[in-house]
Structure 1
Amino acid sequence: MPTPTAPNIIFIMADDLGYADLSIYGQTEFETPHLDALAREGVRFTQAYSNSAVCSATRFALMTGRYQYRLRGGLEEPLARAGRHHGLPPEHPTLPSLLRDHGYSTALIGKWHLGSLPDFGPLKSGYDRFFGNYGGVIDYFTHKPGVGKDVATDLYEGELPVERAGYYTRILADEAAAYVSAPHSKPFFLSLHFTAPHWPWQGPDDEAVSGQLTDLMHYDGGNLRTYARMVQALDAAVGQVLAALDQAGRRDHTIVVFTSDNGGERFSKTWPFTGQKTELLEGGLRVPTLLRWPARIVPQVQDQVTVTMDWLPTLLAAANAEPDPAWPSDGENILPILTGEAATIARSLYWRYKSNSQRAVRQQQWKYLKINDNEFLFDVVADPLERANLKEREPRVFEGLRQLWLDWDRRFLPVSDEVFSHGVTPDIQADRYAPEQRQRQRP
């Protein structure tokens, strides 16, 4: 059971938000005052990474605290085409299930995107309550995952479809504010996963645009002004939830985390990086990340290299809980670093992406990157734009990281065309692929 001082936890995840899309990270075209205030009151990370350059793969890592490549559903984006066959196995321990077993109330408000009903879903993976969309994206006004009268809405309370009118970002804020304001007899863990600012490019006043869409993706639509209004609506939504938390008297003893599932897309600002979503350049992986816990953590700018899967061991430690020893986390508990009880630690982080045969390793200041047949070595601290290829100048570092990636890759499920096919039997035995009979691996 949790201790009497166990903190509440609110984990907020944006969708496709670029590293510099918040004014405190460098956005100059518009302001994000609520998230800027959160950053000033807590921890602003400068070297936080997503586990993947795409959406659901990162969410697998968040939920399990492990590399997503241990599960078939976590191999890039098969859920976009075969979400009824792949998903997060209900028997796999998750961040919400471990907290629930430790005495927490748990809720997910917003985007799931980890497999479809009837086999997969938030209520099957540790959440007591769910309100939101099961798939990857919906229209902000119709709440449909596509265009047309015959397309059903993807908005659910639990496992039952519901109807709500309004702009989706605001609907989620209303639900989350009500949740944190409600009486709670136990500490709570709230996952608040927005779809903003993911396409379709619709601001709060663009309901007329919604009715004109012929394709939900509408890559030829949108503009920088619309994107700005989407991010500002996201900022206002976070502000609304934080205000409700304050009014409920829960500010000091609540951990608030804000991050993104991957780097930005078409209209995002990723300076000082290049690249975007689906690319293993820094702009596709580096994400704005904030944490506030007034009772224990002083405001700071934190240079510790961290990644999505670190949140499971870190938040469990804050709740005086631990990962399931049969499913050890690939992430690190960074809480002692944030509280000043430990120094920063060196990390080795790994990525792969089938498109363009991309590979990447980050170790200390070095990054090995492969795109198609081109290989690079960058010092991403001195050269965040990844322009100076140092593989000829530092051959030993280059070859060492290249071999590290090959050794690491052999431990996990391969990405093949079969992964993305329909009608396949889901392989939910994630532990089959844990190296050395589930023993902890430190690359």
Structure 2
Amino acid sequence: MMHQFKNNFKFLPLTIVSVFLLFSTKGLCQSKKNKKKPNIIYIMADDLGYGDLSTYGQEKFNTPNIDALAKNGIKFTQHYSGSAVCAPSRSSLMTGQHTGHTYVRGNQEAANGEKGQIPLPDSTFTIAEMLKQAGYTTGMFGKWGLGFGTGDPNNQGFDEFYGYNDQKLAHRYYPPYLNHNQEIDSLAGNDWTNTQTYAQDKIQEATLNFIEDNKEKPFFAYVPFVLPHAELISPQDSILAKYKGKFKEVPFTAGDKYSSDYGPNIVEYKYCTQEIPYAVFASMVDRMDVYVGQIVAKVKELGLEKNTIIMFTSDNGPHDAGGSNPTFFNSSAGFKGIKRDLYEGGIRAPFIVSWPNKIKSGTTTNHVSAFWDVMPTLAEIADLPLPKTTDGISFLPTLLSKNKQKQHPYMYWEFNIKNGRKAVRKGDWKSVLYNANTNGEIELYNLALDPSESKNIASKHPEIVKEMEQIMKEAHTESLVFPFK
């Protein structure tokens, strides 16, 4: 019958052929239009160093689930966070702008007695708002830190929010409550004295529920873990038991001015004391790795694996608070600096992306990228126009192992504390300026020859220093809210 149809097709009246082709083409277009966009899960650790994952060289503990993401996807070796501390790094990610342009450029509390940190303005265009234009359901689970009011996640494109809005509250893993959209979710057994409910467990539960509830439609899950940010504290479970007695400990005691234990006299934004901080830190990273494994397992259980992108990174370099010791764990992986530094140890971040059947398994790339590249990358994936406000460049060609990857002419960071700090990367050259307000001198390093930034060669290359100085001026827009101080 089909053979006869083929033979007779040319004898059909032209109008019938036209109608047949019209409906066939319309059907193909409709099918293409209805093809489900990939789900996107973006996981961000808090204060996790480049060297705190075993796939990036950690030797004192293992992170098998995150390592598996790298084995099944692509690992970036030259990816950068948005900033060297929490809030501006998150602002850079959400807006697709570097810290010379993004609104939030420091960890600064809201004015006039308002709760939380300085909020993103209502005019801000975020990744969540962008993806909603492509039909995504959006959820945010973890630490926000970009303000209440206009800055609230529900006012910045997220359909659901569960976690900490105020990042000072996130200094505690046993707070009395978490934020759920515009409501307060009281945590059982937590009252600043008693510690029953580990908040990150509740956040993880909400994350998995969101994935389950939205399995039939494209979703964007932004999962900024609080782990392993101080305070250093873990539930007394099998994860912590693995590390008790494993390390020679240096206790974090009440003698430290930033310590305050749970109880009637607690100072909420400080950190609890800890007798075994090294074991607890390792257990916190381990716990985070378990959470990543649970997310991957949930995606597989729902049959979403082949159409789900999972990204993993950290917001800045490792911290040394609450008894943490980044030197002991080699958390900066040999790079100079830690959190708050604009040297590599403060801003170079692990970055792993898994996307089965799209990303070649076991790939490693040295493509230079940063948080502000995520927005244009997701725009391209979701078939959306490139936001005009972004400083980023899509790294989708790198994910797909294609040869048309564009490169940044330079990368720029600034941080408004301690008289102002700036940094520029241009090719293999890296310049760092501390005390920008008080005529500090620009340092210059060749990262290809000196990745640890141990040899300042500014005096040998005055022409490059001059070029870097000009970039620092051009990339910076003045901020009345976050002046250098």
TM range (shorter): 0.7 to 0.9
The Cα offsets for residues 220-270 of structure 1, whole Å up to 9 and x where unpaired, read as 756222111111111111111111111011111101011111111113311
Q: Is the 8 A contact 2:36 2:217 kept in 1?
A: no
**Alpha carbons of structure 1 residues 396 and 91: separation in structure 2 relative to 1, 3 Å:** closer
1:112 to partner: Cα distance = 1.3
Equivalent pair of 1:173/1:238 in contact (CA under 8 Å): no
Provide the residue aligned with 2:354 in structure 1. Answer: 292
Q: Given the alignment, which residue of 334, 341, 345 partners 2:395?
A: 334
- Structure 2 residue aligned with 1:302, among 346, 365, 376? 365
**Residue 144 of structure 2 is aligned to residue 78 of structure 1:** no
Residues 79 and 113 of structure 1 are in contact (CA less than 8 Å); yes or no, is this contact kept in structure 2? no
Do structure 1's residue 376 and structure 2's residue 446 form an aligned pair? no
Amino acid at match of 1:341: K
Question: What corresponds to 2:65 in structure 1?
Answer: 34
Please, which of 158, 183, 188 is the counterpart of residue 127 of structure 1?
Answer: 158
Q: In structure 1, how many angstroms separate the alpha carbons of the residues matched to 2:33 and 2:174?
A: 41
Question: Does structure 1 retain, via aligned residues, the 8 Å contact 2:335–2:451?
Answer: yes
Contact 2:412/2:424 (<8 A) preserved: yes
Q: What's the CA shift for 1:60? A: 1.0
Match 1:218 to one of 251, 254, 271: 271
Q: 2:294 corresponds to which residue?
A: 240
1:8 alignment partner in structure 2: 39
Identify unmatched segments of 5+ residues in structure 1.
145-152, 421-443
Structure-2 residue corresponding to 1:362? 425
Query: Shift of the alpha carbon at 1:385?
Result: 1.1
Q: Is the 8 A contact 1:48 1:288 kept in 2?
A: yes
Matched-pair contact (CA < 8 Å) for 1:35–1:238: yes
2:253 counterpart residue number = none
Partner in structure 2 of residue 60 of structure 1: 91
Letter in 2 for 1:250: L
Q: 1:403 aligns with which of 464, 467, 470?
A: 470
Structure 1 residues 143 and 322, CA gap change in structure 2 (3 angstroms): farther
Give the match for residue 413 of structure 1.
Answer: 479
Report the 3-state secondary structure (helix = DSSP H, G, I; strand = E; otherwise coil) of the residue aligned with 1:317: helix
Say yes or no: does 1:20 pair with 2:59. Answer: no
Other-structure match for 1:429:
none
1:316 paired with 2:339, answer no
SS of equivalent residue, structure 2 residue 458: coil
Q: 1:164 aligns with which of 183, 187, 193?
A: 187
Give the deviation of 1:340 after TM superposition: 2.2
What's the C-alpha RMSD, in Å, of the aligned pairs? 2.5
Using the alignment, how far apart are the partners of 1:139 and 1:67 within structure 2? 26
State the match for 1:425 in structure 2: none
- Change in 2 beyond 3 A, CA 1:181/1:5: same
* TM-score normalized with structure 2 length: 0.78
What's the offset of the Cα at 1:323?
3.6
In the TM superposition, 1:137-286 aligns within 5 A as 137=168, 138=170, 140-143=172-175, 153=177, 155-165=178-188, 166-205=197-236, 211=262, 214-215=266-267, 216-218=269-271, 221=274, 223-266=277-320, 267-268=325-326, 269-286=331-348
- 1:394 corresponds to which letter in structure 2? H
Q: CA deviation at 1:126?
A: 0.6
TM-score, length basis structure 1:
0.85
Rg larger for: 2
Q: Is contact 2:44–2:224 with CA below 8 Å preserved after alignment?
A: yes
Q: Which residue of 2 aligns with 1:387?
A: 454
Residues 399 and 139 of structure 1, relative CA distance in 2, 3 Å threshold? closer
What SS does the aligned partner of 2:66 have?
A: helix
Provide the secondary structure at the position in 1 that maps to 2:221. strand
Task: Check 1:306–1:29 CA distance in 2 against 1; reply closer, same or farther (3 A cut).
Answer: same
**By how many angstroms is 1:124 displaced?**
0.7
- How many residue pairs get aligned? The number is 404
Quote how far apart the aligned CAs of 1:70 are.
Answer: 3.3
Q: Deviations over 1:327-351 (max 9, x none)?
A: x211111101221223454321111
Cα gap change, 1:338 to 1:141, in 2 (>3 Å)? closer
Instruction: Write the distance in 1 (CA, Å) between the matches of 2:40 and 2:482.
Output: 37
Q: How far off its partner does 1:95 sit?
A: 0.7
Residues 79 and 298 (structure 1), Cα distance of their counterparts in 2 relative to 1, 3 Å cut? farther
Preserved CA contact (<8 Å) 2:76 2:350: yes
Inter-partner Cα distance in structure 1 for 2:139 and 2:67? 26
* Runs (5+) with no aligned partner, structure 2: 1-31, 189-196, 241-259
